[in-house]
Each structure stands twice: as C-alpha cells, then as structure tokens.
C-alpha cells in the first residue's frame, strides 16, 4: 500500500454512526471539555528513510489531511530530539522528550524503585520474581518464591497447608509434598528471610499468614495502560 493511500480522506458514506451512549467527553466533569489532542509518533530518521519518507514529509502530509478534514484547526508540530544511542522504544523516547505527563510519571516511579533497591528491609518484587533483603538479591528457589508470593497476594489471610499444597503443586508432580512437608518449605523460606522471618506467621493448627511490616515493600509492577492505546 502506498503512503498516499494511507493519507486519503476517509469516505463519509461508509463511516459508522457514533454510539450515542459513549460520547467523547462522557467521563469528563461538566466544567471541562476537549480542546484538541496530541499525537506522538515514534519513528526515527533511519526508519522513515527505509519507508521512503522523511519526518518533515510526514508532518506536512498529516497537516494537509487535517486541513481537509477540519479547515479551522490550528496545528503545531515539534520533533523530539534525544541523545544518540538512547535505548527503549522510539515512542517512549518521544513521549519523554516532549514531557508527556504519563511517561514522566512512569520514569520517576522506575527511578524510585531502583533507589529502594539499596535500602534496608525486604522487597518482594512480584513483577520480576525476586526478593531483595537489605538491598541484596536473595537466592530463593522457584518454589520458595511461589510460596512467599502466594502468601503475599493474600496478605492478612491465614492459608491452610492443604490449600498451599493444592495451589502450588500439581497432582502429577514427582515431589508433591504432604501437608506437614509444607512446614519444611516454610522453614527454608524463613531461613533465607533472616531477621525478617516473622513476616511469615505460623497460625497453630491451621497454616500460615503473611504479615506486612513497615520495612517490607511489595512491588506489583506498573500495569497502567499507555495513553497512546485506544
């Protein structure tokens, strides 16, 4: 498909009628209304050249298309500049360079997470499947982490031994433990937690519970949808 075809004026005859139940500003307060939009394009000069275009050509084509669709619209285009060799997706680099609030917030949050890696306490990083103890990565086995994660995600609830067995081991596993064998796994888990072992509590006669302390941080990852996705 040619570049020109991509920029042709859309046919109004085939356009579906907008849904009456979902107006553009439905979720906005009555005192606010849309005044425009920003479009971030992640494309460097090399990739543009490979596609047979250039950034100025794309900007001009988009402006001409907009002028046809909405002659009264005002436009302003800014090219994002970044140091050579900047990593990451082009779109993320562009949004950060142009100070898009969502990109700045995620970058700040990531920087704060890296800072806490050097601090004391326990960091249970669900997103990266790791545990940091006083800034050092703990050598948890897969099952040990799964056991801790299961308790963490059910914080404050006492989990019976039978539930831990059925949730963390499949029936066909060669080493499916009995309910009492769970005690051995918990004991090994606590040994690796060191002075923070009491975050995994024993509830006598029932099972175990995760109790969060002030020096325990749980990271669930950043699942915030990117505002460039519609």
Which pair of structure tokens corresponds to residue 83?
A: 């140091």
Q: 37-51, 87-101, 111-125: which has the minimum mean pLDDT?
A: 111-125
Answer whether 182's CB lies under 8 Å from 161's CB.
yes
| pLDDT for residue 70 is more than 80 | yes
Residue 178: how many CB atoms within 10 A of its CB?
Answer: 10
Mean pLDDT value across residues 170-197: 80
Give me the pLDDT at residue 22, please: 47
Question: Nearest to residue 217, comparing CAs of 136, 133, 151, 147?
Answer: 133
Give me the pLDDT at residue 108, please: 65
CA–CA gap between residue 87 and residue 111 (Å, rounded): 16
CA–CA gap between residue 25 and residue 22 (Å, rounded): 8
| pLDDT for residue 8 is more than 70 | no
Answer whether 161's CB lies under 8 Å from 149's CB.
no
């Amino acid at each position: 498909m040619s570049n020109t075809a991509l920029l042709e004026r859309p046919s109004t005859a085939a356009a579906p009628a907008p849904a009456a139940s979902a107006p553009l500003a439905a979720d906005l307060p009555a005192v606010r209304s849309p005044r425009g939009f920003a479009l971030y394009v992640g494309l460097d000069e090399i990739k543009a050249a490979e596609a047979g275009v250039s950034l100025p050509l794309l900007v001009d084509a988009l402006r001409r298309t907009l002028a046809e669709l909405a002659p009264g619209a005002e436009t302003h285009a800014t090219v994002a500049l970044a140091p050579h060799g900047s990593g990451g997706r082009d779109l993320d680099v562009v949004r950060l360079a142009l100070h898009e609030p969502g990109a700045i917030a995620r970058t700040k949050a990531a920087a704060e997470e890296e800072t806490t890696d050097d601090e004391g306490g326990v960091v249970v990083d669900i997103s990266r499947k790791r545990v940091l103890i006083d800034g050092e990565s703990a050598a948890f086995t897969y099952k040990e982490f799964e056991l801790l994660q299961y308790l963490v995600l059910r914080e404050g609830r006492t989990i019976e031994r039978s539930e831990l067995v059925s949730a963390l081991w499949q029936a066909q596993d060669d080493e499916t433990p009995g309910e009492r064998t769970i005690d051995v796994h918990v004991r090994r888990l606590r040994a690796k937690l060191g002075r923070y072992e009491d975050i995994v509590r024993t509830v006598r006669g029932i099972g175990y519970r995760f109790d969060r302390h002030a020096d325990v941080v749980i990271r669930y990852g950043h699942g915030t949808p990117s505002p460039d996705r519609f």
